[in-house]
């Protein structure tokens, strides 16, 4: 039957673009609302090599905004997400790490990917990943501010090897993390990664 996604992507991308997307290695730090949605968006665009890092399992409170289904409840998020990605594209090359990123394990994990998508909840972990990735020459798409509903528009700010995404004012710790805004932020994160891979849009 072949790879249906690859066949369909030929309608939208030139062969050289597809080659870049298939060869790119992207680390996704966090497989929750931002990470699960952004990872699937990247896969739908032809990115086939992802490292997924998260220590959490799927819970009922995740289903309102994270790309999981009731059948995934109780499973590690990285495993459930890997199954979804392979269902979409059986040629995905996935490295799943069920762990919390720490100063001790980051030096071993960071070199695996030249591009990182930061989708962590903890502010200290976000800062640690972004700073260390940038210092080691990686490019990073990072999110901040997307709580509640309505509110300020989502934005994307490019600062050299770092792209920041969010409304830069709300906080999911003080406002409910709901699907519309979280998914908007995930889409902008995926878009930032595509710019890193393919270059700025024409």
At 148-162, the pLDDT tens digits run: 777 788 899 999 999
Dihedral sign (CA 77, 178, 192, 111): negative
Question: Tokens 């394990």 label which residue?
Answer: 105
Q: Which H or E run contains 73?
A: none
pLDDT above 60 for 116:
yes
pLDDT above 90 for 70:
yes
pLDDT above 80 for 171:
no
Question: Tokens 């300020």 label which residue?
Answer: 152
Confidence of residue 172 (pLDDT cuts 50, 70, 90): low
Query: Quick one: tokens of 9?
Result: 């992507």
pLDDT above 60 for 202:
no
pLDDT (tens digit per residue) in 22-40: 999 999 999 999 999 999 9
Confidence of residue 8 (pLDDT cuts 50, 70, 90): very high
């Amino acid at each position: 039957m072949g790879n249906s996604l690859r066949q369909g992507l030929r309608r939208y991308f030139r062969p050289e673009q597809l080659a870049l997307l298939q060869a790119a290695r992207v680390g996704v730090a966090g497989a929750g609302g931002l990470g699960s949605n952004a990872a699937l968006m990247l896969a739908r665009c032809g990115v086939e090599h992802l490292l997924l890092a998260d220590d959490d399992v799927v819970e009922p409170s995740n289903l309102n905004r994270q790309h999981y289904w009731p059948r995934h409840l109780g499973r590690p998020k990285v495993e459930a997400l890997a199954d979804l990605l392979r269902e979409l594209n059986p040629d995905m090359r996935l490295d799943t790490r069920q762990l919390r990123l720490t100063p001790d394990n980051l030096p071993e994990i960071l070199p695996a990917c030249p591009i990182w998508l930061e989708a962590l909840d903890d502010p200290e972990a976000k800062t640690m990943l972004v700073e260390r990735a940038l210092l080691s020459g990686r490019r990073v798409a990072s999110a901040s501010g997307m709580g509640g509903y309505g509110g300020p528009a989502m934005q994307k700010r490019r600062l050299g090897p770092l792209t920041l995404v969010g409304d830069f004012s709300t906080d999911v710790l003080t406002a409910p993390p709901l699907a519309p805004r979280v998914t908007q932020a995930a889409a902008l994160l995926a878009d930032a990664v595509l710019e890193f891979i393919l270059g700025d849009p024409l």
